[in-house]
Structure 1
């Protein structure tokens, strides 16, 4: 019965093989996983992995390293890759520009970088929607982490998630979720939406057992999804999937991120940044225990592999068979998954490590080029942001 699953799309697999960066272990045949098993950042090491499920990958991601700071971005697109790719190309640059203009990194600087990225993408939609009307329905979750001078800034839109692993009093590893899931499956999100839209009885609708905003989308915050934010981007009724029950009077989605700031402590050992494709199959605690129990090199790929094994188990199939399923069809079994694990070595945390190059590493696209952390070494921490 699984014969249809065992078809190998050679034309699809061939380009992905170019991106594989894996150590020789029991999974060197995981050609649909791109990974950078280990790399250096200003306060330690990182591990990075991506697996594709959609016909065109909608996850975009990046790690930016420099002597005095580290930036991580995970962008889980929906409706297409345009928004997540746009964020990858622009958000970090906005952050660096604003940091230099303000002379600091702060919560406001991070928030304004999100706002500038949203404004830029909506302008892009405005320019292109005549030729490509469904650009107005393309959006992306956006999870960002910045480590700078011993302080961690986390900003999040949507349901990607950042989790920190820290040592408890009994020397056991404990998971702490640093982000809030902006997803209508959460009761607190539904309550928030109802309080913001008291006159709209259809602001959240249970459809086929899934809570959706306006019966269409699960995430309540995103970059893009212009047709759910501005009336000018209303999509033609000939596309019923995006049809609203009544004209849009005010935005039902927002690009206002949740911000979390944390002065890193000696007990804090590592961070996991991942799109929701990982968290559909692993709990926070399961993920941190895996990271804590295995070597650093390849740990992001190990998390992805564990999630895929669990996805196969849920469908009562073998992991070996799941690996053979074509892209596109794979989306019925699991989502695109991006994982970045960032280890924190506290002896390096407050040092200026000139031996760490300024590199920009893009997930799955497999590019590594110069990054732009110039000027950060001379600016100071905004004490009001970390109090």
Structure 2
């Protein structure tokens, strides 16, 4: 009886080589008010879940998952790329990153014939330079574009190696099984660049020894030059190039004294991890999630979420809506902090909703490094095209 049930499950959930998922404008995702979610899908070494909830008038969070060839050459390498881009000041920078960063990575991977820390850093720098070019061209018409920027969190899984690159305060957290105790521990993989962290303030002071106001405590929040919390980003060129820190930029962004060296950096922190069988999943999320959940709380929610199983070495989807679950838990906590019900929070429209919580993006990537799936997937926000075949 159990065997029959498992066969039924597998028949329902297995990917088929002749199946293309193209479901209109959301391309496989669903919309529930301001919440968009993709409950489950396959990537090169397992499956994933994705969810985004909007709070701003214009969604400033952008995100993507790309799985398949990570090069312009069909010979590979193959793997999975995850990006979470938390914009500020507007959506322009995060949208630009969403359209260009992965393509830059593929270009440099082709040139070097492999993924490496150097390749990832080159992709970040090319993306920064590309956005700077846009700001320069549009400066006479849209000077405020110089004050738009984005955090940038990237994960690349390739050949059993995980690369994590980060600018800003989005976060990647690994769920690792501890065999001796049976626990699943949360391990933060990304370095954060927020002035609220003492080590970040020390770094800023050491790189700007002549500026006593490089970090300022303003309304009980540490800010770089009293303007911005993060110390690294894509964009924000008004704090990187002095030529853009002048009229006609709004006065609230302009510094009183000119600066000789960039105040913010676009150089990402990059770490390399050799994945092990006990590394179960990775949570990639913008800081909108981490404002309400600790690393361990998020990992516990993922680990305790009901999910399918493997049968006769066939991979059955595990993700099944877990990203949406994480977002909803965060929203319930946000509502509770304001002494209101979640059902009432859901009725609040975008724009006004920003007073209660930030845009939130979550991608949960489950890992099974003993299996690979022949799958080409491209997900950007609410868009997805996929062609999958059975695991091997």
Q: After TM superposition, is the score higher than 0.5? A: yes
- Are the equivalent residues in 2 in contact too, given 1:272–1:340 (CA < 8 A)? yes
- For 2:288, which of 277, 285, 299 is the aligned residue? 277
Residue equivalent to 1:37:
39
TM-score (norm: length of structure 1): 0.86
TM-score (norm: length of structure 2): 0.85
Residue equivalent to 1:187:
198
* Deviation of 1:156 (Å): 0.2
**Range 238-247 or range 308-317, more displaced:** 238-247
Matched, 1:318 2:341: yes
RMSD in angstroms over aligned alpha carbons?
1.8
CA distance in 1, matches of 2:25, 2:109: 36
- For 1:46, which of 41, 48, 51 is the aligned residue? 48
Runs of at least 5 residues in structure 2 that lack an aligned partner in the other structure: 1-23, 70-77, 308-318, 388-392
Residue equivalent to 1:367:
383
Residue equivalent to 1:5:
none
Residue equivalent to 1:201:
212
* Deviation of 1:222 (Å): 0.2
CA distance in 2, matches of 1:136, 1:370: 36
Residue equivalent to 1:101:
111
- CA deviations on 1:226-275 (whole Å, 9 max, x unpaired) are 01001111142772320213112211100000001101011100000000
CA distance in 2, matches of 1:332, 1:31: 17
Residue equivalent to 2:14:
none
- CA deviations on 1:66-107 (whole Å, 9 max, x unpaired) are 163101000000011010000000000010110010111100
* Deviation of 1:367 (Å): 1.6
* Deviation of 1:18 (Å): 6.9
- CA deviations on 1:301-358 (whole Å, 9 max, x unpaired) are 000000000000111111111111110011011000000000001321xx4x33x1x2
- Are the equivalent residues in 2 in contact too, given 1:95–1:113 (CA < 8 A)? yes
Residue equivalent to 1:127:
137
Please state whether the residue corresponding to 1:259 is helix, strand or coil: strand
Q: Which runs of at least 4 in structure 1 moved beyond 3 Å after TM superposition?
A: 17-23
CA distance in 1, matches of 2:206, 2:385: 46
The total of aligned residue pairs comes to 343
CA distance in 2, matches of 1:106, 1:331: 38
CA distance in 1, matches of 2:28, 2:229: 34
Please state whether the residue corresponding to 1:36 is helix, strand or coil: strand
- CA deviations on 1:197-236 (whole Å, 9 max, x unpaired) are 1110110000111100000000000000001001111142
- Are the equivalent residues in 2 in contact too, given 1:360–1:368 (CA < 8 A)? yes
Map 1:127-206 onto structure 2 (within 5 A). Answer: 127-168=137-178, 169-206=180-217
* Deviation of 1:20 (Å): 9.9
Residue equivalent to 1:59:
61
Residue equivalent to 1:77:
87
CA distance in 1, matches of 2:249, 2:113: 49
- Are the equivalent residues in 2 in contact too, given 1:20–1:31 (CA < 8 A)? no
Map 1:6-45 onto structure 2 (within 5 A). Answer: 19=26, 30-45=32-47
